[in-house]
Amino acid sequence: MTRAVLSIGSNLGDRLAHLRTVVAALGERVLAVSPVYTTAPWGGVDQDDFLNAVVLAEDPAFDDYAWLRFGQELEQAAGRVREVRWGARTLDVDVIACADESGADIVRAGDPTLILPHPQARHRAFVLVPWLAVEPSARLWVDGAEVPIAELLAGLEPAERAGVARTDLRLLDDESVDRC
């Protein structure tokens, strides 16, 4: 069994519907869903703003690679095309972190298929802000040590943090799972 932190985003088509497909596909595996945020695109490519959220999920049958395949399958089903690095996308599902059945974080460095924790998560407010909202005590492995998400977020440039704005949009109708 593994527990995963998934960062989801969309800036093409019906952005909210694309994000909702992830939550719907997860079904009972969903532990918590963050609020939805609007964020400026990352990477310098001219494109529309994203909707972003973080989903915490758990599945006794999934390992970290299964979470990656799951995300990639959802991206393909949403018609994601990978033409421009950091370009516009219908759906982006990133595996940010995973923990095994004992609760220990899975760390993979140098794996050509999956690096955990996500190597850029600590630099991206659009990941840290929603993650902090849904799991205030979260920590991320950085250079061999667990660092609180709040500390990582505080270390980002003010403009980076200010570029992540909470919306009134919801990914779930059932407020019992959405803990924010």
Instruction: Please report, for the chain, the start and end positions of each structural domain, with discontinuous segments joined by +.
Output: 2-166
pTM assigned to the model: 0.90
Which residues are within 8 A (CB) of 93 and not within 5 positions of it... i.e. 6 or more apart?
6, 7, 8, 22, 70, 71, 72, 74, 75
Number of Cβ atoms within 10 Å of the Cβ of 143: 6
Share of the chain above pLDDT 70, in %: 90
Average pLDDT in the chain? 89
CATH assignment, 2-166: 3.30.70.560
